Amino acid sequence: MTKLGVNIDHVATLRQARYRGLQSGEPDPVEAALICETAGAHGITAHLREDRRHILDRDVRMLRERITTRLNLEMANTPEIVAIALDLKPEIICLVPERRQELTTEGGLDVRGSLSDIATTCGLMSEADIEVSLFIDPVPAQIEAAAESGCGFIEFHTGSFAEHFSDADQREAELTRLAEGFTLARQAGLTVNAGHGLNYENVAVLLNRIPDLHELNIGHSIISRAITSGLARAVEDMLALIRSA
């Protein structure tokens, strides 16, 4: 079965709306992560941004100490964050593009244009027994560059699929692009995850087309549903959709 990694960034977003500049406040993303694990999540994802807009250093260190599944640290490929990752030792990192002015990650990483730097980071992580995933669009040139970088995983940016989901023709085009990218990536020896914009309406459609995706990383939709149904139930509902697909 495809695994579910729950992204807890937006728990921290809510906390920072009231407690920005402080080292504690509610809701606590670490406690949220533990609830997600108890509900059956296979891993926890957190993005330590350079501007610390939501997840803080304190959060990732406490996650490393307390969760019992798998910590996926999303991060920019910068010296500061690379050093933190090497010290923290999450099970896996996911390198993502990062712009200060964006509300959320807006597209995939340009691996081909930054191949040397990314390969260097992949080598450092490999020496520390940390797996590496690259967050990319399902574009052949980027998939091929990822295979050259030394990473073992990629995560397809599914934002365009999610954005065009209500348009049948565009949805089909995006599904085809993702499925063809999946085949190319598997042929290159990469394990394929997916994430961004996935929700309770579109996740089964994606999995029915690409049932062998290794893991889905989903955050905003689960945290949004948690407001009305509770976090454990929101995770359980998503897991049920993944199983049924």
Cross-strand partners of 194: 156, 216
SS3 state of residue 3: strand
Decide if 77 contacts 117 (C-beta within 8 A): yes
Could you give the dihedral angle defined by the CA atoms of residues 61, 66, 72 and 76, in that order, rounded to the nearest 10 degrees? -10
Q: Which of 37, 74, 131, 174 is catalytic?
A: 74
Exposure letters 203-237 (e unless 16+ CB within 10 A, then b): beebbebbeebebbbbbbbbbebbeeeebeebbee
Q: Which of 10, 54, 157, 196 is catalytic?
A: 196
164 assigned to active site: no
74 assigned to active site: yes
Instruction: Give the tokens for residue 145.
Output: 């560059």
10 assigned to active site: no
Helices (H), 79-155: 79-88, 115-127, 140-149
Q: Which of 10, 42, 47, 157 is catalytic?
A: 47
Q: Which residues are catalytic?
A: 47, 74, 196
